């Protein structure tokens, strides 16, 4: 299994290079923080030691490599931190249940280790809820949140029937169903090489981590999570799924969204130049609002 995972990681890296990545400019030796339950959390830091710091948090069955198109762009002027959540990438295992709150503690552990005082957290997919948890755990260290293709309708509570329709096929036949699930997140016009690479990579994730984290994620209620939120929350979403802009603004007064057209779920990889420009705009808006 280990050999297979390493093979998939190699293939994913090679494919990304073919798609235009410069891995040498975005790789850095990992350091380690320890989460509240003792699990080692791998992270990498780039750029000048300044604040605010941009912290990138990946989503389900992914890891810090998924931000490789953002690291060179932002680390020229800003401190950038990427994190592998527990059970992902280079981080440790050993957790009985992989809850979204525990992932929030993983991010908090890195902020504490580096004594970050002003962090803007960027969370993709499930990472959106993770950074909401982090803002509750260490509010004194977080000045803003940017959700990436997630939190489209924060007032919506999905039924168990909808959740089971996603979870049960993946639990019964993991690899092909994850690949099918991933492919459903892209428009037909998407780069096939990139889609294949992500589908292969995510379906190689440790199944026990993937299934546990999905089960726990489906227990969340966004309306409960955003209660008491005191920092700005922005989003950069694809138009692949609708975003309830007005509904979200009623729940989070400082909510703001930018929509990217023609992309799927992995907007930071599909259209990185457009994404990076929008992310920088949101980053600067948060800084302005916190002054």
Q: Tell me the pLDDT tens digit for each residue of 4-39.
A: 333 344 444 444 544 444 433 345 679 999 999 999
Tokens standing for residue 26: 């975005």
**Topology at the third CATH level for domain 2-290:** Rossmann fold (3.40.50)
Q: 48-52, 140-144, 221-225, 258-262 — which is least confidently predicted?
A: 221-225
Q: Check whether the bond before 52 is cis (ω within 30° of 0).
A: yes
Mean pLDDT value across the chain: 91
Is the separation of the CB atoms in 4 and 204 below 8 Å?
yes
E-state strands within the chain = 31-34, 40-46, 53-57, 79-83, 119-124, 142-148, 233-238, 256-260
- Delimit the domains of the chain by residue range: 2-290
**pTM for this prediction:** 0.92
Instruction: Judge whether residue 1 has pLDDT over 70.
Output: no
Q: How far apart are CA 71 and CA 269, in angstroms?
A: 12
Q: How far apart are CA 153 and CA 247, in angstroms?
A: 7
Tokens standing for residue 48: 């000048």
Tokens standing for residue 227: 């209660």
Write down the pLDDT at residue 14.
43
Instruction: Residue count of the chain, please give it.
Output: 291
Write down the pLDDT at residue 212.
98
Instruction: Judge whether residue 127 has pLDDT over 90.
Output: yes
CA within 13 Å, CB half, 264: 18
Task: Decide: helix, strand or coil at residue 54.
Answer: strand
Write down the pLDDT at residue 201.
95
pLDDT above 70 coverage of the chain, percent: 90
């Amino acid at each position: 299994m280990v050999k297979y995972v390493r093979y998939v990681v190699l293939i994913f890296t090679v494919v990304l290079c073919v798609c235009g990545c410069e891995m040498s400019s975005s790789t850095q030796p990992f350091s380690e923080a320890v989460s509240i339950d003792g699990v080692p959390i791998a992270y990498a830091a780039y750029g000048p030691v300044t604040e605010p710091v941009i912290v990138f948090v990946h989503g389900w069955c992914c890891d810090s490599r998924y931000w490789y198109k953002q690291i060179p762009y932002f680390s020229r002027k800003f401190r950038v931190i990427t994190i592998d959540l527990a059970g992902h990438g280079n981080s440790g295992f050993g957790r009985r249940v992989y809850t979204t709150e525990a992932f929030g503690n993983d991010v908090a552990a890195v902020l504490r280790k580096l004594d970050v005082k002003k962090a803007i957290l960027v969370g993709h997919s499930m990472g959106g809820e993770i950074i909401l948890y982090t803002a509750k755990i260490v509010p004194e260290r977080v000045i803003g949140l940017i959700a990436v293709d997630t939190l489209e309708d924060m007032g919506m509570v999905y039924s168990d029937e909808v959740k089971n329709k996603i979870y049960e096929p993946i639990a019964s036949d993991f690899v092909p169903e994850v690949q099918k699930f991933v492919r459903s997140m892209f428009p037909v016009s998407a780069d096939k090489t990139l889609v294949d690479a992500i589908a292969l990579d995510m379906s190689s994730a440790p199944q026990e981590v993937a299934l546990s984290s999905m089960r726990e994620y489906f227990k969340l209620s966004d309306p409960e999570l955003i209660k008491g939120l005191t920092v700005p929350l922005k989003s950069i979403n694809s138009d692949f799924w609708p975003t309830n802009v007005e509904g979200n603004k009623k729940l989070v007064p400082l909510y703001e969204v930018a929509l990217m057209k023609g992309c799927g779920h992995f907007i930071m990889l599909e259209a990185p130049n457009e994404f990076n420009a929008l992310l920088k705009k949101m980053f600067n808006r948060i800084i302005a609002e916190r002054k």
